[in-house]
Structure formats: structure tokens, C-alpha cells
A and B are shown apart, each in its own frame.
Chain A
Amino acid sequence: MLQRGLATGLPIMLGYLPIAITYGVLAKQAGMSLSELTLMSVMVFAGASQLMGANMIAVGAGALEIITATFVLNFRHFVMSLSFMNQLRNIKLKWKAPLSLGLTDETFAVAALNPKEAKMEKGVLFYTAIILMAYLSWILGSFLGGVLGEVIPDRLSQSMGIALYAMFIGLLIPSVKKELKVGLIAIIAMLINAVCVYLGMSTGWAIVLGTIIGGMSGIYLLKEERA
């Protein structure tokens, strides 16, 4: 199980390293020390909000502003956690609570698309392996970015910005091939998200609304096979 989890989590590592390195470089430029920027990865473990945090520190924003923005941006994890914890009902709280802390967009996507393991014996190790691997590569990548940021050419690190999106696509498409309705749910969520962004909503809330309202389409669309 542990090994299967590591293999399943490998793409997250690949997606995280470039983003984490980018974060490390930016945080260093924002004036954070190496230990501060690494500590932020250890304690926060949320890519988008750390990048935002580093940016805000660079422009001299206040602590309260940064913390509020982080809350808004990360509230989507509440929805994801609710869905994930519902999937993990058979697993004990002493495992569930630490696993919930390791929930990110990526670990959620990978874990949630592998629901069978939650019912298997030692299945908890599968999820633990995915999350630990993501967590460690995130911390390592941030540290590396802080140390050797200037060595990486700009254009390469910029191109790597596609990595996480490509991973989300790579995760979604096999499910869509199996069940077309799943693609419809995703497209509805995309459109709601896009409309919210267009109306001037912050990215965080737009994703929350896209996920919640888009997910509602599943109440009707997933009716037959899961009832």
C-alpha cells in the first residue's frame, strides 16, 4: 500500500518541485530568510497562498491583510476536506485528522480519484504516502529555490507554471473517458468559476463557488450509478 501510494503520488512531486522552487526564489527576493521561507512551507503547506504571501510581503502588506487573504484563498480546502473526509469514513480519527492537514488541491485530487483504498485494509497508508511525498517535495523544493534560485533560467521556470494544470488535466481525463458525465460536472464548475472571476470575485471565492455549485450538478448527474 505504501509503495502504491508513493507511485500514485509521484506526479504531484513532479508538479510541486518547480512551483516550490519558484516560491523559494520569490520569497527570497521578497526579503525572507532561508529559514523563514522554509518554515512557511513546513507550517502552511499551501502553494498559491505562499506565493501570494511572499508577493504581499515584498510590497509591504500588513500581517492582518496577508492572513485574511490566505483564509479567503484557502477556504476551498474546507469543501475538499469535507468531501475527502466523507470518503475516509472507515478510517480512524487519529489518522483522519493529520491527513486532513496535508490536504491541498493536488493531494485532494489524487486521493479523491482513488476512493477504493479507503475501504481496503491498510488503505490509510496509501493516502499517507501520497501526502507525505507531496509535503516533503514541497519543503525540499522551497529550500532549493531559496538556495539556488538565480541559477534556473526564467523561461524554464515560467514554462513549468503549466505543470500543475497539466497534472489536473491528466487526472481528470481518464475519469471523463470512463464516465462522460464527470466531464460535464467539471465543465459546469469551470464556467461558474470563469463567470465569478469575470464578475470581479477573488480567485479563492470563485473556486469555492465553482466547486460547490458545480458539484451540485452531480446530485442529478451521478444519480443512477451511485444511488
Chain B
Amino acid sequence: MIFLIIIGMSLVTMIPRIIPAFVVDKLEFRDWVNRWLNAIPYAALGALIFPGILSVIPERPYIGLIGGIVAIGLAYIGLNVILVVIGAIITVFLISM
């Protein structure tokens, strides 16, 4: 049963990921479509960050928010992504005590 679930999950994950690899060569996009696709990474990052970040500790949404603000600060002063991640983990660990 679980094996069946795994195969099914695998297929529905693979198919949307792989279709663009085969179709993109056959398509010639207009300029505005290219601009749209170029904006997708930034839009995706935005959508992935908020409001998901509020659920880091679901019963206390402000903790995720504070962790996020610390991450913004650390990234703004130019720290490497790894240090940003570590800094945010420590912050959440300390304020959730």
C-alpha cells in the first residue's frame, strides 16, 4: 500500500517538473513572456516566504516573523546565506525558550 502511494506521489511530482524540459525548445516566447518567466524566481521566493514563515511555530506566529526579520537584517549587511540561516535558527531557538 505504502509502495503504491510512493509510486503515485513520484509520478505526479515528476510529470509537472519534466514537461517544460520537452516543450520549451519548441516554443519561441514573445518578449513579455520572457520578462514574465524571468520574474518568476522572485515571485516564487516571495510566495514561498510569506505567509508560510508565520507557521514555523504555529501557535506563536510572531516567532517566525522575528526570525525572518533577523534573516533580512543579516542578509542586508551582506552575510553569506549559510550565516543567515544559522543566525535565524539561533534567534528562533532563543526566543522560543
Residues in A lying within 8 Å of B, measured CB to CB: 10-11, 14-15, 32, 36, 39-40, 43-46, 49-50, 53, 57, 63-64, 66-68, 70-71, 74-87, 89, 93, 96-97, 99-101, 103, 105, 108-109, 112-113, 155-156, 158-163, 165-175, 177, 182-183, 185-190, 192-194, 197, 203, 206-207, 210-212, 214-219, 221-223, 226-227
Contact B47 A86 (CB under 8 A): no
Contact A169 B49 (CB under 8 A): yes
Which of A67, A79, A80 has the most chain B CB atoms closer than 10 A to its own CB?
A67
Which of B10, B41, B71 has the most chain A CB atoms closer than 10 A to its own CB?
B41
Contact A75 B16 (CB under 8 A): yes
- A97-B18, A218-B36 known; A166+B43 contact, CB < 8 A: no
Number of interface residues of B (CB under 8 A): 72
Per-residue CB proximity of B41-63 to A under 8 Å, as 1/0? 11111111111110011000000
CA of A45 to CA of B14, assembled, Å: 9
- A70-B12, A186-B43 known; A170+B6 contact, CB < 8 A: no
List the B residue with the shortest CB-CB distance to A104.
B17
- Shortest CB-to-CB span from B34 to chain A, Å, is 7
- A40-B9, A77-B13 known; A158+B57 contact, CB < 8 A: yes
A interface, by DSSP: helix, strand, loop or mixed? helix
* Residue in A49, A76, A187, A197 whose beta carbon sits within 8 Å of that of B9 in the complex: A49
Contact B40 A192 (CB under 8 A): no
